[in-house]
Amino acid sequence: MGHVILVTGGARSGKSSHAEARVAALPGERVYIATARPEDDEMRARIAHHIARRGPGWLTLEEPFDLAGALDRTDGRGPRLVDCLTLWLANLMFADRDWSPEADLLIAALARQNSPVVLVSNEVGMGIVPENALARAFRDAQGWLNQRVAAMANEVEFVVAGLPLRLK
């Protein structure tokens, strides 16, 4: 199985930069699988910031839903960076799709890859319980998704203030 690395952390914790550095250190063509959809100015600014930081030398793919397919289609080329599981989960939930079978598909795909995959995700459960029921459901789903990916990953890192803590 290709090496699977999960990089998790808070918003603006430096997890994407760290995940990019992990991918850049691996041989082969680097593939960036973006789950973000540039639907508002804030998101467009964030995406532009990430593209500028990565620089040239990356193949970029936009895939808001079918991560399993994107991984299968790019396997064998080189290391893939999936940034990020949180937006992927949000895309599924806003489209009223059940995230749990989609997570099964993702995990099955990760298990059959030959090239490495680095996945970025967010910690969203360390604040006060949200008053909004959808936010609570999202928080639960994100926590369970992170646990499932972490359970099958070869390495898990938790990033705080740009510095990785090895969890596994």
Mode of pairing for the β-strands spanning 80-83 and 117-122: parallel
Would the CA dihedral through 131, 134, 137, 141 be positive or negative?
A: negative
Q: Taking CB under 8 A as the criterion, which residues in 117-136 touch its own copies?
A: 121, 123-130, 133, 135-136
- SS3 of residue 23 by DSSP: helix
For this structure, is 3 an active site residue? Answer: no
The reply to whether 106 sits near its own copies by the rule CB under 8 A is no
Tokens 């990020």 sit on residue:
84
Name the residue type at position 156: V
Q: Choose which of 2, 10, 62, 82 interacts with its own copies (CB under 8 A).
A: 10
The tokens describing 120, both together, are 């970025």
Determine whether the annotation assigns residue 11 to a binding site: yes
Q: Which residues are annotated as a binding site?
A: 9-16, 34-36, 62, 83
Catalytic site residues?
A: 50
Residues that bind its own copies (CB under 8 A): 6, 8-14, 42, 121, 123-130, 133, 135-136, 138-140, 142-144, 146-147, 149-151, 156, 158, 160-163, 165, 167-168
